[in-house]
Every structure is written in structure tokens, then in C-alpha cells.
């Protein structure tokens, strides 16, 4: 695993974005300049852990490194603050994954690095009941 991953690990482990101190707009992934007011005064901000599915797709052809997770659902989730995040939906019955369903961010294994055997973790989503 490269050093870069460790430098931005909070982005993966804590679903952290940033917030503009001038207008309050929130962003994920983080930005260097506010897209709403242009301010460069941004601070780290934890994103809400819940939201709703705006749209989704089910992949039947596994992505490289994700062969053991096929088929998989990938969803665009709008968090409670309006920020949109793309993530995998896991541990949920197939028929519960639908547009408008409530989703909750969870911490899960993403993949195992084949060369080093190191396990990479990050956020995914489950359907909230």
C-alpha cells in the first residue's frame, strides 16, 4: 500500500469531506475552493452516515480485484446534507436495493492487496430498516 493511501486514510475510514467556513456548503470528496462562493477557507467535516439511494446499478461482471464480490450493487447515495456519494451496497437483500431506499454508511473490507496481502478498508452502504 502506498504512502498516499495513509495520508488520506480519514477520507476512507471516516467518510470525511470538508465544509466552507464562509457559506457552510459541504463537499465530498473534499475540494480546495468552495464551489458555491469561491472561498478557500475550508475545514474538514465528517459527512452524515445516512441518506437515500438516488440511483443504482447491479454489476454482474466483476471488477479486477473484486471477483469474490460479484454480483455487486453500486449506488449513488444522497447524504442527509445533500452531498452525493458513490458506494457499494452490501449485506442487504437484493430486493431492498431500490431508488429512494434509506442507506447507512458502514465500515467494511474493500479488498486485499494481492502482492502484500494487506487488507484495505473503507466505507460501503447497507439498506437501513
pLDDT at 114 over 80: no
Residue 1 pLDDT:
46
Q: How many angstroms separate the CA atoms of 75 and 52, rounded?
A: 10
123: which strand partners?
107
* Segment 43-101, tens digit of pLDDT: 999 999 999 999 999 999 987 877 888 889 999 999 999 999 999 999 999 999 999 99
- Cell numbers for 51, please give them: 441518506
pLDDT given at position 115: 75
- Does the pLDDT at position 26 exceed 90? yes
Where do we find the cell 442507506? Answer: 103
Q: Between residues 22 and 68, which one has the greater pLDDT?
A: 22
Amino acid at each position: 500500500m502506498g504512502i498516499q493511501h495513509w495520508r488520506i486514510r480519514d477520507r476512507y475510514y471516516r467518510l470525511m469531506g470538508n465544509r466552507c467556513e464562509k457559506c457552510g456548503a459541504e463537499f465530498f470528496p473534499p475540494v480546495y475552493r468552495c464551489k458555491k462562493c469561491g472561498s478557500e477557507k475550508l475545514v474538514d467535516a465528517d459527512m452524515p452516515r445516512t441518506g437515500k439511494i438516488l440511483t443504482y446499478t447491479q454489476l454482474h461482471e466483476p471488477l479486477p480485484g473484486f471477483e469474490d464480490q460479484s454480483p455487486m450493487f453500486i449506488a449513488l447515495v444522497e447524504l442527509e446534507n445533500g452531498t452525493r456519494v458513490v458506494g457499494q451496497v452490501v449485506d442487504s437483500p437484493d430486493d431492498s436495493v431500490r431508488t429512494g431506499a434509506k442507506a447507512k454508511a458502514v465500515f467494511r473490507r474493500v479488498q486485499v492487496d494481492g502482492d502484500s496481502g494487506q487488507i484495505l478498508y473503507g466505507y460501503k452502504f447497507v439498506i437501513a430498516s
